Structure 1
Amino acid sequence: MIDVAVIGAGMAGLVCAQQLRKAGYSVIVVEKSRGLGGRLATRRLQRTSADHGACYLKPKGELLQGFVDLLCNANVLQIWTDTVYEFKTDIGIIPPQSLSPRYVAPQGMSAIAKFIAQGLDIVLNQRVIALNATENSWRLTLESSNEEITANALVVAIPAPQALALFAPLGGSFLDATFIEHLSSVEFQPCISAIAGYPSTSQPLPEWKALTFVDDPDIAWIGLDSSKRPNPQQPHFVVQSSAAFAQQHLESADLNAVGEYMLQHTAQTLTIPWLATPEWMQVHRWRYAFVSRPWPETVLSANTPLPLICCGDWCGGNLVEGAMLSGITAAMKINQQLRSLPDVNFFNFSPE
């Protein structure tokens, strides 16, 4: 029996787990993927790495700025650029109205998650396939091993639709209809990311490092991802689709064909012909990339006999900063329900 089980090792889940661990609780994190970070995702390929989820951090509030400063001091983050250009169909490439520093991890954005995860007990590559509630504990059944985890409290830090599917077998007898209704109200938009590498003898690289497409129906963003890496061996780009394009092609059986179209379209739009013929390419679909209809509060609590809190960037809907605040709030709520430890600083999010 442990104190708290956390499902999901994205930003919200890791922040919550680290807060609770430092407060003295026993915590275990279960993650279905092989790596940490959720959409703070880095793919290792072709002797390099590429960020195919969140491509940078742009702090807006005090909380994330403090965290970014901490990561810069730990040599995890550095400033990549302060200029993300815009592309408009009728004008072309234009500079942004204001400059704002974008921070990246030279080793990949997943390094942020690894920093937060220090000291945590994490089970990777294991999907929770069943939840059961006894009189005094939650029981989580894991897919690969049929192993069970027993915990006094449960934090679910995954996208709301995935949480809904996990809760469905519990039925209305344990979870009240209002909680399910609130969870069902959350909506996401998808995205498709294409990572493409080019020979080092390619044509001269563009002057920009990142470019937002303001009014393109298919493409939303392109970044020269190799410019984040120390001593890159060859140039590589990350291209991200619009939500409408991703929705149309989300279930495509041939994602490579989708990626090829994205590169061809981008090459034609920007008049950079060689972008259409990469040396290598990988494509990834994000079913829950961006929250389009968030839950308005920082967490979603269930009115159950056993502590159950949902958290994530869909609570408040402010991307990485929202996920951090949601994770911290979830830890505070769990603490209140378990034993209300005095003098716990739940906003000190750095591991030892």
Structure 2
Amino acid sequence: MREAFGATFIGPEGYLNTAAYGLPPKATVDALERVHRGWAAGTVAGPDFDADIAAGRAAFATLAGVPVKSVAMGSSVAALLGPVASALPHGSRVLVPEGEFTSVSFPFAAHDGRGVTVTEVPLERLPELAADHDVVAVSTVQSADGAQVDLAALRAATEGSETLVILDATQQLGWLRLDLAWADVVVSSSYKWLLAPTGIAWASYAERMVERLVPHHANRYAGGAPWQTTYGLPLRLTDDARRFDISPSWFPVVGAATSLAWMATLDLDAVTAHNLDLAGRARAALDLPPLDSAIVSIPIEHAATRLQDAGLRASVRQGAARIAFHLYNDEEDLDRVVDALRA
């Protein structure tokens, strides 16, 4: 076990794969075990999860810096971007960076039959070309290598215009504080740096988006009072972004509420400093270019195999080994990486 930022983690030693999925604090594991025991005993009921949904929504709003009323609950980033893509007029022009995570680009590319075009450009050119497009969709921190989009330049290029800005913060939230409230859409999964189970994601829709979107997945939770909107017409939806809620995955939402509520109490600047210190020292030791990111892409021959042989968990993305340092990693993990790759 390892203690980090006031929480206990069961098995993070050598785990450097948070960019693929994060490890839960023991409190989250305990909460999931309790609800699964209740399921087995037949003692849980749907309303028991309402408090977890509210807690997860509020924690996401805090972490993303957005109003709670703007937050919708979904199952994945792609599912939350689907209604956004469907709301675009025929012939809309969408701009994405080269090599973008496909949960961001595919929902728009799927509308090519309506004349929607998706153009890929180098990440650094996104702000320069934004004003020539109807939509810009980008991960604030790139999944493959940890590179960050210049959000200040993107905001300056689009502010006051009709261009919609869509930000996927999945590789950011939980380790990096960035100002995102100005964007039209902010989406994030919970299972990476937010240390929750898969199956729960969140979106913040700005007011001008709420006015455009159709709640394609309208269900009893979209009414805001799910136990009063279970049967019969007329359609009864909330006035805020909850109208886009899907029916939740009950057990994952317990884990999401526990992990996100805890993370929302942390000094995120301290988490950022911790992560960047380890990642920066790894880059320096491996003679890699400096980059202010907790994600480290390692284009060293056989790097993934050497890490695996040393008992370290990592990924391979775009032909390079990818490691990620989060709050439960320490100098021992750093030393093992350097030893494995400099041997």
State if a TM-score over 0.5 links the two structures. no
Question: Under TM normalisation by the shorter chain, which class is it?
Answer: under 0.3
Name the TM-score, length of structure 1 as normaliser. Answer: 0.23
